[in-house]
Amino acid sequence: MRRIRVLLSTLLLTALLVCALPAFGEQNGDALTVGVPTDRCPVFFVDADTNEIVGIGVDLMRAAAEKAGYAVTFKAIEEATLKDALDNPAYDMVMPFGSSISSASGQPSAVSDNLMQTPMTLVTEGGRKQMPALNQLRVGMLRSMGGAAETVRQLYPGIEISMYETMGECVAALRANQVDALLHNSYVWSYVLQKPAYSDLTVQPAAMFSMDFRTGTLDTPAGRAILERLNGGIAALTDTARQAIVLDHTSRRLYRYDFSDYLHQYGLILLLGALLFAALAIITVQRRRVYRLKQEEKLRWLMDHDELTGALSLDGFRSHVVELLTAHPDIPYLLSYVNIKNFKYINDSLGRAAGDELLRFWVEKTQSAMSDEEAIGRVEADHFAVLRHAGGNEKIRWDDYEVINSVRNYFTDRGKENRVQICGGIYALTPEDYRLPDVNRMLDYARVAEKRVRETKTEGYEFYNPDQWERGKRVAEVVNRLPAAIRSGDIQVWYQPQANCEKGEFDGAEALCRWNHPKLGWLQPAEFIPTLEEAGLIFDLDSFVWEKVCQDLRRWNGQGKRRYVSVNLSRRDIRPDRDIPGHFTRLVQAYGLSPNQLRIEITETAFAEDPELLISTTMKLREAGFEVEMDDFGSGYSSLHMLKEVPVDRIKLDLHFLTGTGDAEKGRVIISYIIQMVRSLGMRLIAEGVETAEQAQFLQSQGCTEMQGYYFSKPLPVAEFEGLDEKIKTP
């Protein structure tokens, strides 16, 4: 009984074990983990949306496995090659294999039946001409296709396969000509070649062959069992089903552009876009800058100008006048202060708007008559300040008609009764005003004259003082006529002989100009030289005189009479931008004279004004062989220091200033000391303005033998000078 119970329980246990084992075995075997690569779209790849492993290989395997009763999970293999993956127990199966290969650790593998024929294609660069035969080919493949590579080696023993980590490296090797072609399956190529950067790669259809596409595992009993079951599933797959799967994946546009693709594909467009963007950015920045500058300019304009009329504001006028006087010291200017006497009445009777209109009209009218070197400013209400060129009589009258008259008649011209009464005061600027422009002071002078008009007359204008008016007229006469006077011979060069009392004869002369003015008669230099100096025209006159002197000297040289002539050099002739020594050198060269025939007189005061430029000019003139004389010594601020510093050849002592008034005895003492001093300094001396025999005797007794003055001769026209007896009267 006990044996029967033991037997029964053994049988039950066995039956249970028998029933339980297949169930256990079946449960494990129904789920397969398949290791696959994921770098070969569309065969195996990761769906970007679902993050699942998908592809032709996945669908085929799944379809076959399902038919065999397996549920399949795909896992991305992390090993470098399929050979390595074979050794990893985490995968039940690994794929894809073309044929069975050994694992990395050397164990044999077993593979399933073929899931599909994979067409393998070679890809080369577009420009490659001839391809060697497959047996001699150097081929590049992905390292993860180690299995396939082995199969290929078996198929084509002479082939040389190099393995690369990525497709990028494969292509680089191809381009570097390290391999003749790249090998991969056609499905993968159909995907990879969509990359724009690979558009130069071409498929070599002639070299196509196919490989099997199988799954495999280590050659173990368990492995073989699974493969056997799988093979059943593979056999059950119809061709149509396989083709449908292939088509499903190859007909989709799976390739997704990354940034580099866009750059490659649309590089030019992107570049143009970037350039356009940059250009827009630059334009925007520039426009903002221009806008800001305009705003600043507007602000500055508003600060310097009167908004109503557009004339300068008082401040603007002041600073502009200073600028103009500094920039144009040669232009003679008039500054006027003008005001409408009955402006209040106009405003009251015709309205403020009419008053404003009148002011605007006035400024507009004045501005239209003005040059860039002139200015108009609104001082206040109906008071204007105007700076204009002193054109003299004509210009002032012209202003009167063109500007003032039309303002006067502004309302009457428009059918109203009100006549505008204008009062103006005019101040003619003096050289002082250019040196240190004090615009307020000038305005005050003009205002004084304007006030006088306003208080004594209904309208009109006056100069600050009557002399100024006369001077204004003279300026116009002189300045306007100079060029014509030079041309027509109205300006002449006269000579005043210089006596050498030691020799008892004349041995030189000073050239002095005379103007035979058609209206004003004979003009003395004092009447027009300062005006020409102010108007910046003195150089025109002087260079005419110098040239005339050179002509005369050449003629005298030709006649065997070698003479020496002193010419006057105005302090206004000497300017940093004018090469006076060069001018004289060219002149004497042109007339074949020796430079020492010209003695150049520079007035003493000139040295005090701008010593540096004068001293350097003097030195250069002397270096060039000319004699330089200090004219009018004693007339200005003679300083002993100047005698020491200024390197002249001859001092021209002006008796006039020392004998004119005051104590004659003191004058004589001073003269005798000057003579002694100049001689001890090694300079020559000539006395000018010698009018009497006593003066001449006194000078001679003191050792000064060179003299010039009415006592010996007045300045003479050239013909008279030429006929002069060389002998002088003895003092």
Q: What is the contact surface with ligand C2E in residues (CB under 6 A)?
A: 496, 512-513, 524-526, 529, 538, 542, 545, 568, 570, 601, 631-632, 656, 688-691, 709-710, 715
Amino acid at 715: P
Q: Which residues are within 8 A (CB) of 447 and not within 5 positions of it... i.e. 6 or more apart?
A: 337, 425
Q: How many chain residues touch Mg ion (CB under 5 A)?
A: 4
- Distance between CA 518 and CA 490 in Å, rounded? 8
Minimum distance from CB of 651 to Mg ion (Å)? 11
Which DSSP string do the residues of 591-658 spell out, in sequence order?
Answer: TT--GGGEEEEEEHHHHHHSHHHHHHHHHHHHHTT-EEEEEEETTS---HHHHHH---SEEEEEHHHH
145 closest CA partner among 81, 54, 195:
81
Instruction: Determine contact, residues 363/371, Cβ cutoff 8 Å.
Output: no
Which residues, in sequence order, are bridge partners of residue 211? 118
- Select the residue interacting with Mg ion from 180, 632, 649, 706 (CB under 5 A): 632
Minimum distance from CB of 688 to Mg ion (Å)? 5
Quote the tokens at residue 589: 């060269």
Binding of Mg ion by 542 (CB under 5 A): no
Instruction: Determine contact, residues 213/115, Cβ cutoff 8 Å.
Output: yes
513 binds, among Mg ion, ligand C2E, none (CB under 5 to 8 A by kind): ligand C2E
Minimum distance from CB of 529 to Mg ion (Å)? 11
- Distance between CA 150 and CA 156 in Å, rounded? 10
529 binds, among Mg ion, ligand C2E, none (CB under 5 to 8 A by kind): ligand C2E
Which DSSP string do the residues of 228-241 spell out, in sequence order?
Answer: HHHHHHHHHS-HHH
Which residue, 143 or 684, has its beta carbon nearer to Mg ion?
A: 684
Minimum distance from CB of 711 to Mg ion (Å)? 16
- Distance between CA 367 and CA 597 in Å, rounded? 53
Which residue, 150 or 654, has its beta carbon nearer to ligand C2E?
A: 654
Instruction: Determine contact, residues 631/652, Cβ cutoff 8 Å.
Output: yes
- Select the residue interacting with Mg ion from 601, 627, 649, 706 (CB under 5 A): 601
Minimum distance from CB of 632 to ligand C2E (Å)? 5
- Select the residue interacting with Mg ion from 568, 570, 597, 617 (CB under 5 A): 568
Minimum distance from CB of 512 to Mg ion (Å)? 7
545 binds, among Mg ion, ligand C2E, none (CB under 5 to 8 A by kind): ligand C2E
Binding of Mg ion by 638 (CB under 5 A): no
Which residue, 627 or 631, has its beta carbon nearer to Mg ion?
A: 631
207 closest CA partner among 188, 170, 187, 180:
180
108 closest CA partner among 150, 157, 162:
150
- Distance between CA 205 and CA 203 in Å, rounded? 6
Quote the tokens at residue 544: 């005419």
Which residue, 456 or 596, has its beta carbon nearer to Mg ion?
A: 596
Binding of Mg ion by 627 (CB under 5 A): no
Minimum distance from CB of 503 to Mg ion (Å)? 22
Minimum distance from CB of 499 to Mg ion (Å)? 16
Minimum distance from CB of 631 to Mg ion (Å)? 4
Binding of Mg ion by 631 (CB under 5 A): yes
Which residue, 98 or 636, has its beta carbon nearer to ligand C2E?
A: 636
Phi-psi domain of 106 (left: phi exceeds 0; alpha: psi -120 through 50; beta: other): left
Minimum distance from CB of 440 to Mg ion (Å)? 38
526 binds, among ligand C2E, Mg ion, none (CB under 5 to 8 A by kind): ligand C2E
140 binds, among Mg ion, ligand C2E, none (CB under 5 to 8 A by kind): none
524 binds, among Mg ion, ligand C2E, none (CB under 5 to 8 A by kind): ligand C2E
Helices (H), 328-438: 343-350, 352-369, 393-399, 406-408, 431-435
656 binds, among Mg ion, ligand C2E, none (CB under 5 to 8 A by kind): ligand C2E
The CA-atom distances, in angstroms, between 666 and each of 343, 627, 657, 670 are 64, 31, 12, 6
Which residue, 24 or 710, has its beta carbon nearer to ligand C2E?
A: 710
146 binds, among Mg ion, ligand C2E, none (CB under 5 to 8 A by kind): none
Which residue, 359 or 602, has its beta carbon nearer to Mg ion?
A: 602
The CA-atom distances, in angstroms, between 47 and each of 41, 192, 196, 652, 726 are 10, 16, 21, 112, 126
Minimum distance from CB of 632 to Mg ion (Å)? 4
316 binds, among Mg ion, ligand C2E, none (CB under 5 to 8 A by kind): none
Which residue, 404 or 532, has its beta carbon nearer to ligand C2E?
A: 532
Which residue, 333 or 633, has its beta carbon nearer to ligand C2E?
A: 633
- Distance between CA 158 and CA 177 in Å, rounded? 19
The residues binding Mg ion (CB under 5 A) are: 568, 601, 631-632
